[in-house]
Amino acid sequence: MKPSDRYNKTFPISWEQLHRDAKALAWRLLEKGPFNGIVAVTRGGLVPAAIIARELELRLIDTICVVSYDYMEQGEASVLKAPEGDGEGLLIVEDLTDTGKTARIVRERLPKAMFATIYAKPEGRPLVDVFVTEVSQDTWILFPWDAESQFVQPLVSGRSID
């Protein structure tokens, strides 16, 4: 399936919105802790993990490095690096769970950790313990680190008026 067939909508996220949503996730996690540390799923989980680590005053931060996307194409997932252990006492932080492919791999490596993500789509939602916003499966979330500000034509400019 081509990305253009899979994603019919785009949901742009600003830096400010991402910060607010990460802080909202931290609020939800307050009652779930305490945690001994955070494991950020790279690369998308790095920024939310930093915000959540600050809000929960966690100093131990590690990463699990999983590669599964090349722009909008989801390919074969591979683990480049993972922490040792079963995840006991740890909080996994991710920006998004889409199809659940990455989440399944992370869960296999760290089965006793709590898994939190800011955004969840229906296919990946059952794999996370805590999330903030559910987004439809056919929506591409455009994160601020993947975008630049530029002029966009008004909606009316793209259609003919008869």
* 59-71 residue pLDDT tens: 999 999 998 766 5
pLDDT band at residue 4 using 50, 70 and 90 as cut-offs? low
**Kind of pairing between the strands at 37-42 and 90-97:** parallel
pLDDT higher at 1 or 24: 24
Average pLDDT over residues 78-93: 93
Average pLDDT over residues 96-122: 95
Domain ranges of the chain: 3-158
Evaluate the CA torsion angle 127, 86, 90, 17 in order and state its sign. negative
Residue type, 60: L
Token look-up 């067939």 returns 5
Is 44 within 8 Å of 65 (Cβ atoms)? no
pLDDT at 133 over 80: yes
pTM of the model: 0.83
* 18-47 residue pLDDT tens: 999 999 999 999 999 899 999 999 999 999
Cα(51)–Cα(26) distance, rounded to whole angstroms? 8
CATH topology assigned to domain 3-158: Rossmann fold (3.40.50)
